Amino acid sequence: MATYLTHRLLAVLLLLLGLNGVALPGKGQTVHAILVADTTDPLLHTVCKRDIDIMHRQFVQVAAAIRYELREQVVAGETFSSKRLRNVVSKLSPAPDDIIFLYYTGHGYNARRRAGRFPVMLLDKDAAVSGRNPGLLAVHQVLTAKHARLCITLGDCCNQLVRNMRGMVNKTVAPKALLLTNDSLDEVYRTLFLNVKGDALIASSQPPQQAYAHPDSGSFYTRSFNEALELASRNNKQVSWETLLRDTQSRLTRHQATRTRQSIYVVHVAGRTPARATISFDLINRLLNELTNPTRPATQRQVILNRLTGFFVKQARIDVYVNSTLSQVQRIEPFLQRLYGQHDHSQQLNLIERLSEMTADGRQYSRAAIEAVGVEAGVRYVANEPKAALTPKAVPVPTALSLLVRTDKGRANVTYWAGNQLIVEANVSRPCHIRLVYVLADSITVLLENDAEIKPGQENQYVRIAPDSAFVCAAPFGTEYLLAYAAESAFCPIPTIPNPKLYVRPENGYTVFVGSMPEIRKAVACTTDGGEVVEDRIQIVTRGR
């Protein structure tokens, strides 16, 4: 969000310096997607239709993100049989840089004397021809022998001894999370599908377990996989097939019906993947959610609490997002104590790695953003109270300085299209000073308003900030952030002389920060008397027309 000229100059500069960091997309290659679904089964027909709809959308997004052609074949309905699947697989002839992704949803089983851990797909249900049913591993081996650059086989089915079938359970509504953005999603797809080579074999359950599903919302593992992929695109800087599948498993165990279910997978993927982070986001997510798990004994949760504490510096600050909106900022200790004491497993907690900051050695977080989905905005749980008092309580009206900002399009799910003008208003409880910072989609940070003053008589109402300035939406598009700071004293001047830590410089009418995000945070929150500064932020998605 800036002037057209500013964005174009910055984009050209980054291109000339080679800082875009994105691998070149594929040219003329193909994603060969094979969807195998038992859409005529009396028990699973609605489930399987829902599953292939989810995976079809994923395949479309994968191909678009890496600029591959999509060739999709469906084995379902009247064509659902082992013969049809063998025919599709045998005729598949991928080029060396193509991708193969086979997805199966339906009944599955295993056998007592069968050595393999991966299930058999129940395509032929007549006992006379059941021996034709292919094993998931066997099909995967045939596909990998075709020497595509990447081959993924995923089976969402039971892995029990014959003849137990896939189970149906009550519907669990998927929580609404931060708004999906094309730019971040494309980056994750490129990391997982474009910049790697190898193969992965995935099954939703290990022997002897059932898989579970609901007719309206689909199979639990497929939903967990889809959710893990989309949340990784929003929240995480580094992702691999291993971290994605571990996070999928963590999400699977959050459903009551699948809490004890364990997926199995074998991953042999290598390539231009990011270096492994010292702290893996999927580990943080798993521990955060296990901390609130009421089925775990208190002694186990205390161990989890201690382990989580070690991932953060002592004075770490936590930005808590509730259903996409910044709700509050807390210190790490009371935040974790609240989770330990509330015994509420209905909400799901996700680390927003993109908005978090680590220490220089990469071993701890100095500031972290954590998203809670599945809870009502404006509600918090109070720490260190007796168990009977651990119920949602409305956030009290503050008597000290408070800040709430909004745009002309509101606060939640804010989207601006090319050419739209951004208008910012602030509502504060006391006369104060306001500073606005904007983080562009390409991570460049600009100072929108240095020190606006809210005067006596303007408190407790929305006041437009910088009414004489025009902030116009232009490329590059993606996820951007409006950061607002309020203090009762004036803000410190920001250095304008170049130095190793931080300074600002003018570029085409805007004030651009030069320095790291931790240094920017420190500078923008500095006040002349060292007084308290309160913060608010809004996530904004910008799109081209």
Residue 181 confidence (pLDDT): 42
3-state DSSP assignment of residue 508: coil
Band of pLDDT at residue 72, cut at 50, 70 and 90? very high
Q: Are 506 and 447 in contact (CB under 8 A)?
A: no
Please enumerate in sequence order all residues whose Cβ is within 8 A of that of 425, keeping only pairs 6 or more positions apart, or say none. Answer: 405, 406, 407, 408, 462, 463, 464, 465
Identify the pLDDT of residue 162. 41
Who has greater pLDDT, 13 or 143?
A: 143
Q: In which band, very low, low, confident or very high, does the pLDDT at 493 lie, cut at 50, 70 and 90?
A: very high
The pLDDT value given to residue 137: 94
Using pLDDT thresholds of 50, 70 and 90, give the confidence band for residue 412.
confident
Instruction: Give the tokens for residue 261.
Output: 């279910």
Q: Which residue has the higher pLDDT, 222 or 14?
A: 222
Residue percentage of the chain with pLDDT more than 70: 77
Exposed, middle or buried: residue 175 (CB in 10 Å: 0-12, 13-18, 19+)?
middle
Residue pair 493/24 in contact by the 8 Å Cβ criterion: no
Higher-confidence residue: 112 or 225? Answer: 225
Q: What local confidence, expressed as pLDDT, does residue 26 receive?
A: 47
Q: What is the mean pLDDT of residues 217-245?
A: 80
Count how many Cα atoms sit within 13 Å of the Cα of residue 347 in the half-sphere of its side chain: 24
Reading phi first (left if > 0) and then psi (alpha if -120 to 50, else beta), residue 419 is in left
pLDDT at residue number 264: 92
Span 126-137, average pLDDT: 85
SS3 content of the chain, % helix, strand, coil (to 5): 30, 30, 40
Average pLDDT rounded to a whole number, residues 69-73: 93
Give me the pLDDT at residue 323, please. Answer: 57
pLDDT band at 237 (very low <50, low <70, confident <90, very high): low
Residue 528: is its pLDDT beyond 50? yes
Of 210-224, 378-392, 512-526, least confident by mean pLDDT is 378-392
Site of tokens 């983080």: 439
Least confident segment among 53-67, 378-392, 435-449, 504-518: 378-392
DSSP track, 22-74: -PPPPSS-EEEEEEEE-TT-TTTHHHHHHHHHHHHHHHHHHHHHHT-EEEEEE
Per-residue HEC secondary structure of 244-283 comes to HHHHHHHHHCCCHHHCCCCCEEEEEEEECCCCCCCCCHHH
Q: Which fold has domain 403-543?
A: Immunoglobulin-like (2.60.40)
pLDDT reading at 20 higher than 60: no
**Alpha-carbon distance 1 to 14, whole Å?**
17
Q: Coil, strand or helix: which one is 502?
A: strand
Q: Are 196 and 152 in contact (CB under 8 A)?
A: no
Q: How confident is the model at residue 65 (pLDDT cuts 50, 70, 90)?
A: confident
Residue 468, pLDDT above cutoff 80 = no
- Whether the per-residue pLDDT at 522 is higher than 70: the answer is yes
Report yes or no on whether pTM surpasses 0.85: no
Confidence tier at 251 by pLDDT (50, 70, 90): confident
Q: Options 3.40.50.720, 3.40.710.10, 3.40.50.1460, 3.40.50.620; which CATH number does 29-271 get?
A: 3.40.50.1460
For residue 448, give the nearest of 462, 467, 463 by alpha carbon.
467
Q: Work out the average pLDDT over 16-24.
A: 36
Burial of residue 354, with CB atoms counted within 10 A of its CB: 0-12 exposed, 13-18 middle, 19 or more buried = middle
* CA 126 to chain CA mean position, Å: 43
The pLDDT value given to residue 394? 34
The pLDDT of 372-390, averaged and rounded, is: 38
Mean pLDDT of the chain: 78
Which of 88-97, 168-177, 474-483 has the largest mean confidence? 88-97
Instruction: Kindly list the domain boundaries of the chain, sorted by start residue.
Output: 29-271, 281-394, 403-543
